Chain A
C-alpha cells in the first residue's frame, strides 16, 4: 500500500466527497457493507430483498471488525464496484 503526504492545506477532510444521492435505485449496483456486528446478516438479507425488488443489484461486503474503520482496500473496492453503499449496523 502506498502512503503519500497530503499536499493541501488540510482544511478539508481527506476522505473524498460522497457522490450525490441517486434519484432512483433502478438499475444501480448497491453495496451492502456488513460491519461484523452479530445478526447483521439477518438485517442485510432483508435489505437485499427490498433493494432487489426496487430493481437494484446488490453486492455484499464485510469488514473485518466493527471496532475499526473499513480498510482502505475494501473502501476502494466498494467505490469502484457500486453506485451506492449502505453501511449497516445490527446487534
Chain B
C-alpha cells in the first residue's frame, strides 16, 4: 500500500485478526452496547480496544487499553463504537455507531442487542479530538520531520526569538512548531522529502518540509501550500532567474499572479484592494516565497540582495485575476493554459503604479492614454528591455467590453501606439545623457519586446484606475515570465 509520510499507517499499529471493537467509556452508545460486546466475546470472540477507561466495558483479557491512542490513530478510527473485522492483518469490514442490522451482518451473529434500539449514533473518537489532534500528529508523525530542532528558552518571547535568530523579513513570523508544520503539510499530497527547487543564491535543495516551515512563518493556511510550492518551483527555474532578480540593484521581486479554481478555494482577493492589504492568501503566499529565498536560499538584503532602494512589493506581492468579470480570455489562457487549470505566474517586477483615466469613454481614447502612461515605465528612454503587467480595473475593462474588443484587438491597438522614435530615446537626445544605444537612431522601436504586455483583470467595481507593474530586464539576459500549473 502506498501511503504518504503523515497518513496514519495501519502497519505501524496492527489490529488483531477477528472482530475488533473500538470504544470509550465516555460515550453513551458505547455504554449501551457494552452487554452486546460481552455477548460477542462469549459467542465468537472479540478484541475490544478501549480509549479511556482500561476496565471498560469490563476487566477481561479481551479488552486492550489504547493508552497512547496509536491503534485508534493509525487505523483511522473517527467515531466510537467502531466495529471491524480483520482478516490476515488487513481490515475487511467496518461499521460505525450501533446498528443491530450492521453489527449482525458484520459478526454473522443473530439476536444481538435485542433490548436495544435499532440504531444509535456514536461519539467522536478520542484520536480525532480537536484538543488532542495536534499532539497526536506530532506523536505519530513528528519523527518524519527532518528539520533541525531549535529550542527556545522559556523566558524568551517566541516572536522575538524569531527576529533574534534572523528568520524574519522584518515583520513578525509565526513560530514554526512541529504541530504547525504538520498541519501545513496537510495542504499537499506531495511527500515531505520531495525536492521542490534548488533555491538561490546558496543553491540549496528545498524540500516540501522546508517550504512548509517557511509557509507557516509567513502566516499561510495549509490550503495555500500548493501555490507556495508551485511559486517556489517557478521562481527557481533557470528562465525566471531568481538569483539575478535578488542580486540586482533595481527595486524588483517576484510578482505572483494566480488563476483558476484555486483562487476561490483559498479565498484570494481579485476585487477591491487586490494589490493591497486585507486578504490573508494574497498577503502571505508571496511572503512565504520570499521567506524561503531568505532562509533556505540565504538571500538577504545587504547580502546577495543588493537592491539600492527596494520596494514594499519585495515583502511579497501576490494577487488573483477576476476572470469571471473580464471581457478578455483569462490571463492563464493567454499563457497557454486551460481555464480549468489552477496556475501561478511569476513576473519579475516592481511595485504597481497607478494608471489614471476618468474621462475616456471610448476604447480608442483609453488605449491611447494607457500607451502614454506605459511609455514612462522604468524610463521613457528605455525600450525593448522590459515587459509589463497591466492590472486592468473592471470599469476600464468595461470600455473594451462595450466596444467588443478582445485581448488580441486591445494588444494590437496598444502595441501600435507604443512604437517610439529611436531619435528621441538614444543617449544624449534632448540633452539627457541616459538613453538607448546610438544604433537605434533613425529607427522606430517598440517600447516592449514581443509578447511583453501581460493583461490581468482585477479590482473593485468602482474606480477608473488601473495599474502598471514595470518589469526587470527580460529575455534570456534577465528574467522570463514563468507560469506553472499548481499541483495539489
- B-contacting residues of A (Cβ < 8 Å)? 1-11, 14, 16, 72-73, 75-77, 80
Contacts and interface: CB of A to CB of B under 8 A. Distances in A.
Given A9-B296, A11-B202, A11-B204, A3 B151 contact: yes
Interface in B368-404: none
B52 interface: no
B155 A5 contact: no
Interface stretch (B12-20, B174-182, B343-351, B355-363): B174-182
A73 B100 CA distance: 58
Given A3-B177, A76-B156, A9 B297 contact: yes
B153 A1 contact: yes
A80 B152 CA distance: 14
Nearest to A75: B153
Contact of A4 (B152, B154, B296): B152
B178 A14 contact: no
B295 A5 contact: no
Interface string B147-174: 1111111111010011011010000000
Contacts of A11: 202, 204, 298
A75 to B, nearest CB: 7
B307 interface: no
Given A6-B148, A7-B296, 15 more contacts: A1-B154, A2-B156, A2-B158, A3-B151, A3-B177, A4-B149, A4-B152, A4-B158, A4-B175, A5-B145, A5-B148, A9-B296, A11-B202, A14-B148, A16-B164
Nearest to B145: A5
Nearest to B174: A4
Nearest to B152: A2
Contacts of B296: 7-9
B213 interface: yes
B468 interface: no
A67 to B, nearest CB: 18
B153 A6 contact: no
Contacts, number: 84
A10 B165 contact: no
B464 to A, nearest CB: 43
B283 interface: no
Interface in B269-289: none
Contacts of B210: 7
B167 to A, nearest CB: 5
A73 B150 contact: no
Given A2-B152, A4-B150, A4-B175, A9 B202 contact: yes
Given A4-B150, A5-B177, A16-B164, A73 B297 contact: no
A76 B153 contact: yes
A4 B163 CA distance: 13
B154 A3 contact: no
Nearest to A76: B153
Top 6 nearest A-B pairs by Cβ distance? A76-B153, A5-B147, A9-B204, A6-B148, A7-B295, A2-B152
Nearest to A2: B152
A68 to B, nearest CB: 13
Contact of B214 (A2, A7, A16): A7
16 contacts: A1-B153, A3-B150, A3-B151, A3-B177, A3-B178, A4-B175, A5-B149, A6-B149, A7-B147, A7-B176, A7-B213, A7-B296, A8-B296, A16-B164, A75-B153, A80-B155
Nearest to B156: A76
B155 A76 contact: yes
B137 interface: no
Given A5-B178, A72-B153, A76-B153, A10 B148 contact: yes
Contacts of B217: 7
A7 to B, nearest CB: 4
Contacts of B318: none
Contacts of A6: 147-150, 213
Contacts of A9: 202, 204, 295-298
Interface string B187-218: 00000000000000010100001100110010
A5 B153 contact: no
A73 B178 contact: no
B220 interface: no
B135 to A, nearest CB: 13
A6 to B, nearest CB: 4
Contacts of B162: 4
A77 B153 CA distance: 9
Contacts of B470: none
A71 to B, nearest CB: 9
B291 interface: yes
A16 B297 contact: no
A7 B210 CA distance: 6
Interface in B257-313: 291, 295-298
A73 B148 CA distance: 19
A17 to B, nearest CB: 10
A65 to B, nearest CB: 17
A38 to B, nearest CB: 28
Contacts of A2: 151-152, 156, 158, 161, 175, 177
B155 A77 contact: yes
